[in-house]
Amino acid sequence: MEETDFLLLWRTVAPGTLLADPALPDKLLAFLTARLEPRDGEERHLLDMVLRDGDKAGDAAFSLAGAVSKEVYFSAPDLAMSWVLLAALRGHDPATLALVQTLLKMPDRLTESARRGLDGPKGKTLCREAVRARRPGLDWGRHIVVSVLRRPDWWQKRLATPTMPQRSADADPVETTAEDGTPALVVVKEIGVTETEDTWTAFEALTEPLPLRGGGVHPEALRTALSLEFPHMSEATDRITQDLALLRRAGVPWARFRPTLLVGPPGTGKTRFARRVARLLGTGYGEVGVGGISDNRLLEGTARGWRGAQPCWPLLVMQQSQAANPVLLVDEIDKAVGSHNGDVRATLLSMLEPETARGWYDACLLVPADLGRISWILTANAAEALPRPLLSRLRVIRMSSPGSDAFEGLLEGILRDIAGELSIDRADLPALPDEVEARLRAGFAGGAGIRALKRAVEAALAEAEPSPRRVH
């Protein structure tokens, strides 16, 4: 095989063909080591680990890829990506993810180059390469989709960047840090004077620094994980990860995205999407349904003096999740109504306004609270009835029902959710027979929504043969 052939394997040969050749990893390793001259003791140690072909060989090869190209996720030098390919062939999931991300970005780059006036044969060649480059990325993605969906917590830790950029001078200030060095925020500086100790005791935790989470999750890793499970929600995925990437470039070491309204028919996965974003980011999560609600106390809380007085809902979520920047979902906002007891939409409008949110006066705690780091997601079946001032503060994303290509990702996500609801491991669920899965796929392709799919999966699991119990 010629030198150029080895360098182009990662973007020209299908994963199935590469994985079917048992001799390829050794040949590729020999080719790469002949072209690597370690610059320091660390690189020599990594190379030694690769050559020993032990359990850490994949990790070491992936680290060497980073040494060859420090921005392996954002550029595609063939030599660096060949090291990534070697790690992927050793079964290294993060390396496989890097291949997916880089290959899926290539068509956009090539197409853009073609649009910049490259007419004639060269432009047509770039367009053909763009089409060819997308397929290997999707093929590699199928090798890790189950791993990403089954182990979001593991992926979150694995993909965390060890160091973050320094904060810029004009970046949003963080008041303090937690004991472990995590950025943190004092949401409530003190609790207003109270006649009894009950309020202080119940909500004292809010006066302590709460961590600002999610900064260790790479935006591109989040994009890939969401795209695998929600391919029909690409616009929402792109917008959210773009916000996170912008914060990252600005040196902000925690996650937040702009208030977003997801508009689409029932059963399209809007709520599941919000839950998954929060789960992958690790920021904490809360959701509230406001369909038919005509009382704003659901969001605003109840004032001091009333029986069962409590702070606003966002503060309750912060206290429960121990995070100052949770993802909050307000479901069915288009069905909320106003009354003499208040209007949920008006209260939400104040919480979405940045200046108001940073100094939200809580009638239970009798002090201002900082709600300015929350990531809001609202859902609606239609947006036409929503007040214009509220819409002006939201990024509106319209979505359609998922296609048949979303079945595998959604099925795995549903199975994992069911396991979580039952407080068992995903592996302890009964295996679905092939014919049952085929019926589920056919029903989904026939127009059954995600909710209907979940009900069908639950029914199928109830009738399936139980899995052998594992010894924990």
**330-386 pLDDT tens trace:** 999 998 877 666 788 888 988 998 778 888 888 888 889 999 999 999 999 998 889
Residues whose CB falls within 8 Å of the CB of residue 340, separated by 6 or more in sequence, listed in order: none
Q: Locate 447 and state its tokens.
A: 């127009």
- The pTM of the full predicted model, rounded to 2 decimals, is 0.58
Q: How many CA atoms lie within 13 A of 419 on its CB side?
A: 18
Cα–Cα distance for residue pair 102/253, rounded to 1 Å = 24
Sign of CA dihedral 332, 337, 340, 342: positive
Pairing mode of beta strands 375-380, 327-331: parallel
The model's pLDDT over 138-197, given as tens digits with 9 standing for 90+, comes to 777 776 666 666 666 666 665 554 332 233 333 344 456 666 678 899 999 888 765 555
Closest CA to 60 of 71, 69, 48, 72: 48
How many domains is the chain partitioned into structurally?
Answer: 3
Residues whose CB falls within 8 Å of the CB of residue 70, separated by 6 or more in sequence, listed in order: none
Same domain, 269 and 139: no
Where is the domain boundary, 370, 398, 426? 398
Q: How many CA atoms lie within 13 A of 22 on its CB side?
A: 0
Where is the domain boundary, 398, 422, 448? 398
In 269-394, DSSP assigns E strands to 285-289, 327-331, 360-362, 367-369, 375-380
Band the pLDDT of 249: cuts 50, 70, 90: confident
Q: Note whether 371 and 356 are within 8 A (CB).
A: no
Q: Locate 236 and state its tokens.
A: 């929402």
Average model confidence (pLDDT) for the chain? Answer: 78
Q: Note whether 364 and 199 are within 8 A (CB).
A: yes
Same domain, 386 and 332: yes
Q: Greater confidence, 49 or 393? A: 393
Same domain, 419 and 394: no
Q: Which domain holds residue 429?
A: 404-463
Q: Note whether 171 and 256 are within 8 A (CB).
A: no
Same domain, 340 and 424: no
**174 is a domain residue:** no
How many Cβ atoms from other residues are within 10 Å of residue 59's Cβ? 18
Q: Note whether 380 and 334 are within 8 A (CB).
A: yes
